Amino acid sequence: MKPTAVFVKRVWASFLSSSGLEPNLLSHLHLIDATPGLVKLEMMIEKKHTNRLQILHGGTVAALVDLAGSLAVASRGMFNTGVTTDLNVTYISSGGKIGDSILIEGKCHKLGRSLAFTTVEFYKHSNELFARGTHTKYIAAAMKDEHNRIEEHKP
């Protein structure tokens, strides 16, 4: 496994052990691959991810923008991924129903001194784009975390 993927898995494990939301809503999210600045994830839609129409809930997609954006920041060597300052989601079509798998691609476009900028795209297994998000994170305080490995994960 690539060093960046190993690092991102460590960060994801930290989310699962320390957070309240991710272990309850997104515990079955799987990291497919990670390279500096890019993460690829997969998740099967479960009932807890759906709305009353039994399709993927927009709130689940928004939570995934936050998480995938954070893991994209982690792919640049940030163990502490900062806090969200801005999050936007554009819903293009339904993401699917219970039992469908979705693919998620998170990119960290810029890791500055105080802000990180990410985009997240969502695909059905047919390769059809169904949602897109942008995510900005405040990282100035997070840059001081002793667990960061920024020099080891440059793009």
pLDDT in tens, 91-131: 999 999 999 999 999 999 999 999 999 999 999 988 999 99
Helix, strand, coil percentages in the chain from 3-state DSSP, rounded to 5: 30, 35, 30
Q: Within a 10 A sphere around the Cβ of 59, how many other Cβ atoms?
A: 12
Domains observed in the chain: 3-153 (3.10.129.10)
C-alpha–C-alpha distance, residues 115 and 105, integer Å = 20
User: Helices marked H in 19-144 — which ranges?
Assistant: 21-25, 58-74
* Residue 148 pLDDT level (bands cut at 50, 70, 90): confident
**How high is the pLDDT of residue 134?**
98
Q: Are strands 30-35 and 129-138 parallel, antiparallel or unpaired?
A: unpaired
C-alpha–C-alpha distance, residues 7 and 76, integer Å = 9
Stretch (H or E) spanning 9: helix 3-18
Nearest residue to 80 (alpha-carbon basis) of 92, 67, 70: 70
**How high is the pLDDT of residue 81?**
97
More confident residue, 87 or 150: 87
Place of tokens 């930290």: 14
